Structure 1
Amino acid sequence: MAFAKARRNGPTDAERIRSVIAAAGSLSLTTDGNSYDLVAMHDVDGSGRLALHAPADSPLAAEAACAPRGALSALLEFTDIAPIAVRDRVRARVTLAGRLTPSPLQTSPGVLVLRLDVARASIQRGALVEHIGPEELERAAPDVLAVAEAAMLTHLEEGHRDVVDRLARLADPELPHTAARVAPLALDRHGITLRCEYAHGVADLRIAFRTPVKDVDEVGRQVEILLRRAVAAPSGKRAGREDAGS
């Protein structure tokens, strides 16, 4: 699957990483000695610092307690999966490498809080892998729609198929007739991406909002602006298309 690098009308790679982490409910952790699948055990503070909350009697807590110089080498992997069932559903894979150290602020009895000091970060989208420095990652913020995106896309797919079809016509007036299926794939403050499924492959269409939204409440207004454009668009109007392979 081929994806363009960070676009003017889309999030930067650092923002994408922060968004994936903010929305993720689980992650895979690999240390020098073990592998863990952690569900609902991480959070991110306002400065972008990721922390794991491990039960004090867990193998992870025991391994961290025995780590040389109190720092546990760690590789964290997050998989960003589209909330709508589409072909090629994995949208991105995020990897963070660094060291886990006990936080001086242990907030809950029976829980060991481990903070991650990031040394390296990367995001893979299809065959393209981008590497992000820890300073750039720290300066970035998750997209304002990151946490709400899954619910909003699901609502759009299940309750407003007419809107999806009208947006598809804005991208390509013939699209609803040539594609076997068009579904909402991604949503961020800059716009919406549609996944078009054909008999022998898929392609993604990016439709930018007129202006980036500041919060969830502004999305409806921006979609309405797009729909008015769909009515007024000439027959030759096209949005950006990305081949996504088969």
Structure 2
Amino acid sequence: MASPALTAAPTTAERIRSACARAGGAMLAVEGLEPATTPVHHLLDDGSFAITVPGHGALAAAVVSSGNAGIQAVLEMTDYSPLPLREPVRSLVWIQGVLRDVASSEVAGLLDLIATSEPNPALLQVNSGDNRDGETRYALLRLEIESVVVADSTGAESVAVGELLGARPDPFCAMESSWLQHMESAHRDMVDRLATRLPTSLQRGRVRPLGLDRYGVSLRVESENGDHDVRLPFGKPVDDVTGLSRAIRVLMGCPFLNGLRARGA
């Protein structure tokens, strides 16, 4: 029997879910209006996004005025590298759909639902009265998805809403930034050992850690000929910090695997 094929990278839906989880802020664009910041962008089980926008802004007013018809909008999320790379944007996600107001009777229940998995402080500023203390007050809106597209250095790809709902963020996406920063600042030897896995033509550039997930490590090579991204897949997907630490050492070619323990494990 043939062995199963190696899973070398997250699916498109998984990449989008991880980008959504990492994006601290996003922009919501409506034709004819200035884009609005959205500190909360939460995917709901019905396939729509719950979004917060400044409550006293033109966009919130336009949505309320549109009534049940809603207005076309695009939510853009940018996934930035935690390191100061020459090109810091790792991917862009565009979610297009119809934007509608959330009925006042539904706001409290929806906020509670979001807070159970995403306790964002901005939720406390939704429909909470006048902004006399100088804090921005937010309105809660719902974006009913029509299309989802992600673009990165490999190109652009769309994903169906059903696939998005069936996927989950990478288990390491919350700690990825600190891991990459630590590798860059304190363990350049690890990066140099991983770089030996690259094609010879790419080893002459400056190699930087670009990404980390349960399927492998990504490196960015910055050279005079441009930037090049390369994935180094693990032998199999990992689910915890101990497995991640071991998988990275396998990629490095560490000769003492049996005696290793992940720090802090």
TM-score category (smaller protein): 0.7 to 0.9
1:105 maps to which residue? 107
Identity %: 33
Aligned partners of 1:21, 1:161: CA distance in 2, in Å? 29
1:162 maps to which residue? 189
Aligned partners of 1:137, 1:45: CA distance in 2, in Å? 11
2:211 maps to which residue? 186
Residue pair 1:22, 1:44 contacting (<8 A) in 2 also: no
Deviation at 1:60, TM superposition (A): 2.8
Residues 76-119 of structure 1, C-alpha deviations (whole Å, 9 max, x = no match): 11222222222333221111001222332333443422122111
Aligned partners of 2:242, 2:144: CA distance in 1, in Å? 34
2:74 maps to which residue? 75
TM-score between the two structures when normalised by the length of structure 2:
0.73
RMSD: 2.7
Residue pair 2:45, 2:165 contacting (<8 A) in 1 also: no
1:61 aligns with 2:60: yes
Report the CA distance shift for 1:182/1:115 in structure 2 as closer, same or farther (over 3 A). Answer: same
Report the CA distance shift for 1:101/1:120 in structure 2 as closer, same or farther (over 3 A). Answer: same
Aligned partners of 1:147, 1:53: CA distance in 2, in Å? 22
Aligned ranges for residues 119-134 of structure 1 at < 5 Å?
Answer: 119-126=146-153, 128-134=155-161
1:8 maps to which residue? 7
- Which ranges of structure 2 fall in alignment gaps of 5 or more residues? 1-5, 112-125, 129-137, 257-265
Residues 40-92 of structure 1, C-alpha deviations (whole Å, 9 max, x = no match): 23334577642212343333322221114252321111222222222333221
2:51 maps to which residue? 52
Report the CA distance shift for 1:218/1:8 in structure 2 as closer, same or farther (over 3 A). Answer: closer
| Larger Rg over CA atoms | 2
2:244 maps to which residue? 219
2:118 maps to which residue? none
Q: Secondary structure at the match of 1:117?
A: strand
1:210 aligns with 2:235: yes
- Where is the strand percentage greater, Structure 1 or Structure 2? 1
Aligned partners of 1:226, 1:44: CA distance in 2, in Å? 35
User: Which residue of 144, 151, 166 maps to 1:117?
Assistant: 144
Aligned partners of 1:24, 1:58: CA distance in 2, in Å? 22
Matched pairs, number: 223
Moved more, 31-40 or 144-153: 31-40
Residue pair 1:83, 1:154 contacting (<8 A) in 2 also: yes
Deviation at 1:127, TM superposition (A): 6.5
Aligned partners of 1:217, 1:230: CA distance in 2, in Å? 15
